[in-house]
Amino acid sequence: MHNKIIYIMFILFVSCKNKSLMISKNEYVYENDNRKLSIQIIDENNLIIKNIFNCTNINDQFKNIVIKKKYYISKNKIVILDPEKEEFKLPYFNNSNCNFLSEKYRTSVKHYYDGRTFYPDKSLYYIPNIDTLSITQDNNLYYYKKIGKGSVGFIFRKYPATQSQ
């Protein structure tokens, strides 16, 4: 019985270690017309979260945002240590070709005749506090979090090794 417990613990350890090796040194990307949000796994303890806005007329410090983080793997999750205490906030960029960064878009609230209220899509213009990423069966990553009455989520697809930066 004792040998079976040791064997099971060894299998669990090896399977967690193998999951770590499968994601190591890879880049995972969520991309749309306006932004590229990527997770770059550097090694078994370090990763980089990059946000690149595909917009003109915004300051370089906000166009390319790089956040270095430490992480560990628990089961099929990447747990990021010390996520930011507050979400990264962008200033207004009224002269950009990305209208979602403008003050008008970000502060507009539409009220409909039937009582519904529409708020701008915040996921376009802020970087959420990514604290946990789930590893899917096909080795992609996803992030999902309930926020107030809504949620935010991204599916990060694994980039081929020849295309990673």
Q: What is the average pLDDT across 26-45?
A: 91
Closest to 152 (Cα-Cα) out of 125, 128, 118: 128
Number of domains in the chain: 1
Query: Which helix (DSSP H) or strand (DSSP E) does residue 17 occupy?
Result: helix 2-23
The reply to whether 165 falls in a domain is no
Q: Is pLDDT above 60 for 8? A: no
Q: Is residue 114 part of a domain?
A: yes
Residue 161 pLDDT level (bands cut at 50, 70, 90): very low
4, pLDDT greater than 50:
no
Each residue of 148-160: pLDDT tens digit?
A: 777 788 899 988 7
CA dist., res. 55 & res. 163, Å (int): 22
* DSSP state at residue 78: E
pLDDT in tens, 69-112: 999 999 899 999 876 655 567 889 999 999 888 999 888 888 88
Q: Is 164 a member of any domain?
A: no
Q: Which domain holds residue 55?
A: 2-158
User: What's the pLDDT at 1?
Assistant: 56
Instruction: Give φ, ψ of 18 to 5 degrees.
Output: -65, -40
Cα distances (angstroms) measured from residue 58 to each of 32, 65, 107, 112: 18, 12, 18, 33
- Residue 119, domain member (yes or no): yes
Give domain status of residue 95, yes or no. yes
Q: Is residue 121 part of a domain?
A: yes
- Closest by Cα among 81, 134, 41 to 50: 41
